[in-house]
Amino acid sequence: MSTTSVSGDAELIAGLPAGFRWGVATSAYQIEGAVAVDGRTPSIWDTYCRVPGAIDNGDTGDIACDHYHRMPADVALIKDLGLDTYRFSVAWPRVQPRGKGPVNPAGIAFYDRLVDELLVHGIDPWVTLYHWDLPQELEDTGGWPVRDTAYRFADYSMLVFDALSDRVDTWTTLNEPWCSAMLGYAYGAHAPGRREYPAALAAVHHLLLGHGLATVRMREAAPRKVDIGITLNVATAYPASSSEPDVEAARHADGMGRRIYLDPLVHGHYPADVVADLAAEGVELPVEDGDLELISAPIDVLGVNYYFSQKFTGYAEDGRTVDDAGQPISRTIPLDKPRTAMDWEIVPEGFTDLLVSIARDYPGLPMVITENGSAFEDHADASGFVADTDRTAYFTSHLAAVAEAIRQGADIRGYLAWSLMDNFEWAYGYAKRFGIIRVDYETQARTPKQSALYLKDLAQRHRGQ
Ligand code: FCB
C-alpha cells in the first residue's frame, strides 16, 4: 500500500518516541455548515464568501461537510482509523453570537456533545479556539488591527474554557496568526479581504496579545493541569545563493514568517532586525507596556503546521536589489521540486530543517505537528475509494522528516494529519481536497482513502512496537 518499502516504514516508526500522538485535524468553518443554526451569527468568512470572485466557483461554507449534523458518525470514522487525537476548532460566532455577551447555550452544547463523543471513543479532544472565523460585528468595529479585539478574544476563550476544561486537556489559542494577519489584512486573499499593510502588522501584535491574555486567564482558571499553546504555520526560508542580497532576502522572510511570532512568544521581544525592517517601511508595531510579558506567558506546547518551504532571492528579474520605493527585494523562486495541486512544492527536508531550527532557537518548547498534508487531484472509483498514492507518499516523506528531526534532537510529541476529510479550502472552495477521507459533496458520503488506511496502519504498528 505504501510507496516506500516496508523496511522504510519500519525505520520511520522506530524513529518516533513512545507515546507519540497520532491524529487528525479540522476547523469549524471548513466542515460544520449549519451557519445560521442554533443562534450562530455570521463570521468574516460568511461575509467574505459573498464577495463576488473571492472564492473559487462562488463556494461557501454554508453546508460544507454538514458535520454539525453528522458529528457522531464523523467521530466514529476517527475511531475506526485508530487515531488517538482529534484537533478541531470552536466557532466563535456559534458560542458567542456577535462576539459579545454571555455564552450561547445551544452553540456550546454542540462542542459539549463533541467532546463527550470523543471521550467515549477514547479519542483525546484538542481544542483550537480561533481558526479564522471572527464574528462579523468585531470586524465591523475594526477587526484584529484594533486592540480591543484581543480583549474580546480572551473573553470568548474563557466562555469555552469554562464549559470544556473539565474534559479537554489541550488548548490552542490561535491557528496560524500569519494567515489571519497577512492573508486577511495585507494581501486581501482571505477574509476580511483588506489590503492595508500597516493594519496587518497591527493585527499581528493584537493576535499575539489576544493569545497572551487568553493564556494567562485560562492558566489562572484551570481546574487541573492543562496544556496551552499556539499553532503557527512556519517554513524554512532558504537563500537562493550565498550572495548578500539573497541571504538578506531569506533573513527577511524568516523574520516575517517565523521569528516575528516565536521571538515575542518565547523570548519576550520582537526581533530587532524585523523591527528595523518595518521601521524602514514606516511601520511600527503598536506595543504597549506589559504586552510582551503577556505574550511571553509560558506555553506547554507549540503547534507546528507545515506544508512547504521556499527559496528566496534578493534580486528582481532585471537584477535590481531594491524596488521603486527603495525597499530591498525579497521574492520566492522555485526550488524545482514536484508540486501538489495547490502548486506548493514538496520539500520534506525543509520540514526537518524547520523543526531542528525551532529546537535550536527556542529550546525547551515541546512541539506537536498540528497540521501537515497535501491536496492532489483525487480520482474516486465507483465505490468512492481513492487510491491516493501521491498523498500517501507525502505522508511517508514528511513523517520520515519528523523522525529525522527527532533524531537530530527536536522534541516532537505527535503528528496530526490535515485533514480528517475533504472540506472547504478557504479561497479555493471545494476544488482542493486535503482529506484522508473522501467527501462526496452531493451525498455527503464519506469514504476513507488509501492514505487513511496507511496512517491507520502506521499508528497501529507504532503503538504495538
Ligand atoms: C492551513 C490551514 C488549514 C488548511 C490548510 C491546507 O493553512 O490552517 O485550515 O486550509 O492550510
User: Looking at the domain assignment, is residue 386 inside a domain?
Assistant: yes
Residue 179 CB less than 6 A away from ligand 1: yes
Tell me, what's the pLDDT at 202?
Answer: 99
Give the pLDDT of residue 223: 87
Active-site residue, selected from the candidate residues 176, 248, 345, 404: 176
> In this structure, what are the phi and psi dihedrals at residue 248, rounded to the nearest 5 degrees?
-60, -45
Atom number in ligand 1 closest to CA 375: 6
Residue 238 lies in a domain: yes
The protein residue whose alpha carbon is closest to atom 4 in ligand 1 is 425
pLDDT tens digit string along 424-444? Answer: 999 999 999 999 999 999 999
pTM of the full structure: 0.98
The beta-strand segments (E) located in 63-211 are 85-89, 124-130, 170-175
Of all residues in the chain, what percent carry a pLDDT higher than 70?
98
305 within ligand 1 shell (Cβ under 6 A): yes
- 178 within some domain: yes
pLDDT tens-digit profile of 292-324? Answer: 999 999 999 999 999 999 999 999 999 999 999
462 is in an annotated binding site: no
Question: Binding site annotation covers 175?
Answer: yes
Nearest residue to 375 via CA among 458, 446, 308, 453: 308
Give the pLDDT band (50/70/90) at residue 8: confident
Q: Residue 441 in 3-state DSSP?
A: coil
Q: Which residues contact 177 (CB under 8 A, 6 or more apart)?
A: 204, 207, 208, 211, 230, 232, 261
The yes-or-no answer on residue 220 being catalytic is no
Nearest CA to ligand 1 atom 10: 425
The span from the CA of 252 to the CA of 404, in Å, is 27
Domain hosting 300: range is 9-464
Report whether 104 belongs to an annotated binding site: no
Tell me: pLDDT of 384 over 70: yes
Is 144 annotated to bind ligand? no
> How far, in Å, is the centroid of ligand 1 from the Cα of 374?
10
Domains identified in the chain, total number: 1
Residue 89 CB less than 6 A away from ligand 1? no
Residue 456 lies in a domain: yes
Average pLDDT in the 18-39 region?
98
Closest by alpha carbon to 265, among 305, 302, 220, 222?
A: 302
**Structure confidence by residue, pLDDT tens digits, 324-370:** 999 999 999 999 999 999 999 999 999 999 999 999 999 999 999 99
Residue 136 placed within a domain: yes
Least confident of 3-17, 48-62, 76-90, 380-394: 3-17
C-alpha span between 286 and 128 (Å, rounded): 26
Residue 233 Cβ inside 6 Å of ligand 1? The answer reads yes
CA of 76 to the centre of ligand 1 (A): 23
C-alpha cell recorded at residue 288: 504597549
Verify cis geometry, omega within 30 degrees of 0, for the bond prior to 198.
no
Closest residue by CA, ligand 1 atom 9: 27
Residue 4 domain flag: no
Tens digit of each residue's pLDDT (9 = 90 or more) over 174-199: 999 999 999 999 999 999 999 999 99
Ligand 1 center to 114 CA (angstroms): 21
Is 111 annotated among the ligand-binding residues?
Answer: no
**Residue 371 is a catalytic residue:** yes
Q: Per the domain annotation, does 3 fall within a domain?
A: no
Q: Give Cβ neighbours of residue 104 (< 8 Å, ≥ 6 apart).
A: 38, 39, 40, 94, 95, 96, 97
Cα–Cα distances in angstroms (integers) from residue 261 to residues 8, 107, 126, 201, 283, in the given order: 35, 31, 22, 11, 17
| Residues 335-374 as b or e (16 or more Cβ within 10 Å = b) | beeeebbeeebbbbbbbbbbbbbbbeebeebbbbbbbbbb
pLDDT of residue 1: 33
CATH number, residue 409:
3.20.20.80
Binding site membership of 371 for ligand 1 (Cβ less than 6 Å): yes
74-95 mean pLDDT:
98
Residue 372 lies in a domain: yes
